[in-house]
Amino acid sequence: MKCIKNNKTGDIQRVTDREAYNMVGNTWSYVSKSEWKMVTRKPKEETEKKDNPKQMNGVETTEVFVKTRKKSK
């Protein structure tokens, strides 16, 4: 199997070796499989982390932790 791209339209197809050999020329060219994967597969959606605000005296707050490092002499 080979991945080929139409130079005029930008369309990418995965075809057999024989079909690719016959099609590649002025209109079609070889492309990498990773380029074909980017076009055909949906990107993974990143889940957003939502802050869990806490309420203190009716006011929403977010906890912040600060690490301190001791300086060595």
Tell whether the model's pLDDT for residue 36 goes beyond 60.
Answer: yes
Residue with tokens 């099609």: 23
Q: Select the highest-mean-pLDDT range: 18-22, 51-55, 61-65.
A: 18-22
Q: Which residues are CB-neighbours of 7 under 8 A, at least 6 positions away? A: 26, 27, 28, 29
Q: Are strands 54-56 and 59-61 parallel, antiparallel or unpaired?
A: antiparallel
- Mean pLDDT, residues 8-26: 95
Residues 39-54: pLDDT tens digits? 999 777 666 555 555 6
* Of 63, 18, 38, the residue nearest 2 (C-alpha): 18
- How far apart are alpha carbons 38 and 17 in whole angstroms? 21
